[in-house]
Structure 1
Amino acid sequence: MPARRFDAQRLLLARREEGLKQSDVARAVGVSAARVSAWETGRSEPDPEKLPRLSEAVRRDLNVLFPREGRPDLKDLRADAGYSQAATRKLTKTSTAGPVAAAENGQRRLAEEYEPRLADAYGVSVETLRRAQERSFGHDIPEPDEPEPADVSPDDGATLPATLEGKITYLLEQLPDPLSDAEVAARGNDRTGGQVLTEELVRGLRTGAVADVSDEVLGALAEALDTTRFFFRSGDAGVQRVIAETLALKDQVAAIAARGGEEEGLSAELLAFINKEVAKARAEAVAHRDHPTS
């Protein structure tokens, strides 16, 4: 099952936003300040069981700071409770961590006597523990109270319009401030350093009067609308995900900037994080274009 995603920049920003020193976080987690520095610079990553204490140290929700997609297995439950695998021998009252290790690796299920002890330590019910164990054995069963998947409609942003004009309209609606056709053209030309777009061309693309355009035009239009030209060439779910994440990032940045109110604007660390995420989104789109089936 997917482990929680550790992001060095996200940890660094959270610590600085709370006005904490690396030594403060180190004391809370029980490691050295040098270790925290290594985590924040990406030289190493913390063990999964340290993530809960890290999130508490920087006063962030665990699921927000270190999100995980998918349902937890036994290893995830243990890590979220802050236990190393070696520490579980005290929970099972055995001489080694073998019983837990075997179950987490999908080799041998837990003895029934161990289940209530581990469930109590992990802060879950025995039934939840058993469902997590099944996932460790490759059976991704849902939780009993898990809602049924909702039907996806264009209004919730998960399904994008199929036509070029529809996609342009969709992107325009995501912008915090409305742009005219002339403003879109000027913005695209400024960001690409050329004279590719005109007000009339943008209007024709937006209304559907112009449909067949070059990659150069789509590239300038994408720059104007904070996306990638591959968005206009594909309706694939993978590209949709990249675009949705990019737009969500843009909205979060706008909210942070508005909340900060500092004359200098966004911090260097936040700008570095933004640039990294946008570059990653664009790289994913390029990779998807070049290797659509990989």
Structure 2
Amino acid sequence: MPVRRFDPQALLLARRECGRKQAEVGVLVGVSGARVSAWEKGHSVPDPEKLPGLAKAVDRDLDELFPRDGRPDLADLRADAGYTQAATKELTGTKTPGPVAAAENAKHRLEERYVEALAAKYGVSVEALLRAQERSFGIDVPEPDETEPPSPRDGEGLPETLAEKITYLLEQLPAPLSDAELADLGNGRTGTEVLTPGLVRDLRTGAVRSAEADALDALAQALDTTPLIWSQDADVQRVIAETLLLKNEIAALAARGGERQGLSAELLQFVFDEVDKVRAETQSGGGATARP
């Protein structure tokens, strides 16, 4: 079951941004303000079926605030609709939640008479519910609209905005990283405390379009790249993007003993030299290039 990732600090920042108190959020979710406080401090984690209401209470999209890696199974669809397993007996018109529990635990598939009713209550199509059921039984069925993401080398597909670059670089990592993990990694590699999960999230989603140089440097370190990648200079962007792609260095980093390391000194020097060449060609009378 691909459980949604819960980030206490992301919840705290979202609540503060929407201007609601812990007690107000608690009323909307059906818990006490003290329980919300415990969630924000990381002392406890909300039940999965509480997450949709919690995201709504702080005016955030569920997938943005509590992302999930992977495709949903039956339990995920139920939780995303805000139902406990015990509550499904009312959805199926049975005396116990047994039919749903059996399907979620890969014991027996749902009888046909329950499928349409559950799909309607979960807010999904019958086909989507059946695909989720197969995943509960260990069969990873893809969604029909899933396609390979376009390669940045195709036509005008090079990432341009800060959010697009972060998303692209995240896709190149050997394993997915949460906003909190990126913040910890960047801070650890630079020996600073400039990144927070909330800032990383806002930069990744485009809610914030710029940041201080030290924060961007830490983010570059966490993403195994050079801070030059954030440059708005079109020539610099082109050189770095083509360098990373044509040299296939990101793939090499992923295979380098299973460890996450920064770009090699050789590649960094290559990037700097290429940037110097481009600037020398495009800027007449320019001085020496400043390097971070």
Structure 2 CA distance for aligned equivalents of residues 36 and 95 of structure 1:
33
Change in 2 beyond 3 A, CA 1:153/1:240: farther
Distance in 2 of aligned mates of 1:62 and 1:91: 23
Is 1:106 aligned to 2:41, yes or no? Answer: no
Question: Alignment partner for residue 200 of structure 2, among 238, 243, 249?
Answer: 249
Deviates more, 1:126-135 or 1:236-245: 236-245
Number of matched pairs: 207
CA shift for structure 1 position 127: 1.6
Asked if structure 2 preserves the Cα contact closer than 8 Å seen for 1:81 and 1:122, the reply is yes
Q: Secondary structure at the match of 1:110?
A: coil
Partner of 2:228: none
The residue aligned with 2:148 is 149
In structure 2, the residue corresponding to 1:25 is in which secondary structure?
helix
Tell me the distance in 2 between the aligned counterparts of 1:61 and 1:114. Answer: 29
TM-superposed deviation, 1:107: 1.4
Matches within 5 A, 1:127-166: 127-144=127-144, 146-154=145-153
How far the C-alpha of 1:143 sits from its partner, in A, is 2.1
Report the TM-score, using the length of structure 2 for normalisation. 0.58
Counterpart residue number, 2:31: 31
Tell me how far apart the structure 2 counterparts of residues 25 and 97 of structure 1 sit (CA, whole Å). 29
Residue 43 (structure 2) aligns with: 43
Change (3 A) 1:250 1:76: closer
Q: CA deviation at 1:175?
A: 8.1
Instruction: Note the C-alpha offset of 1:136.
Output: 0.6
Deviation at 1:151, TM superposition (A): 4.8
1:112 deviates by 1.2
* Residues 23-77 of structure 1, C-alpha deviations (whole Å, 9 max, x = no match): 0000000001110001000000001101110011111111111111221110111
Q: If the length of structure 1 is used for normalisation, what is the TM-score?
A: 0.58
- State the secondary structure of the residue aligned to 1:69: coil
Moved over 2 A (4+): 150-158, 173-176, 236-251, 253-259, 288-293
Counterpart for residue 66 of structure 1: 66
In 1: Cα distance, 2:48 partner to 2:116 partner:
23
Deviates more, 1:124-133 or 1:74-83: 124-133
Q: Which amino acid aligns with 1:149?
A: E
Distance 2:73 2:7 in 1: 21
1:91 maps to what in 2? 91
Structure 1: tracts of 5 or more residues without a match: 159-172, 177-230, 260-264, 267-273, 283-287
Q: What whole-Å deviation, never above 9, does each CA across 1:210-255 have from its counterpart, x for those lacking one? A: xxxxxxxxxxxxxxxxxxxxx9xxxx95358669967993981897
Shift of 1:148: 2.1
Aligned in 2, Cα 1:95/1:67: closer, same or farther, shift over 3 Å? same
Q: Distance in 2 between matches of 1:41 and 1:109?
A: 39
C-alpha distance in structure 2 between counterparts of 1:108 and 1:153, whole Å:
44
Tell me: CA distance 1:175–1:131, structure 2 relative to 1, closer, same or farther (3 Å). Answer: closer
SS in 2 for 1:78: helix
1:22 corresponds to which residue? 22
Q: Is the 8 A contact 2:26 2:36 kept in 1?
A: yes
Residues 3, 175 of structure 1: alpha-carbon distance in 2 compared, 3 angstrom cutoff = closer
2:203 and 2:209 in contact (8 A); partners too: no
Query: Is the Cα–Cα contact under 8 Å of residues 29 and 54 in structure 1 kept in the other structure?
Result: yes
The offset of 1:8, in angstroms, is 0.7
Cα RMSD after superposing both structures: 4.4
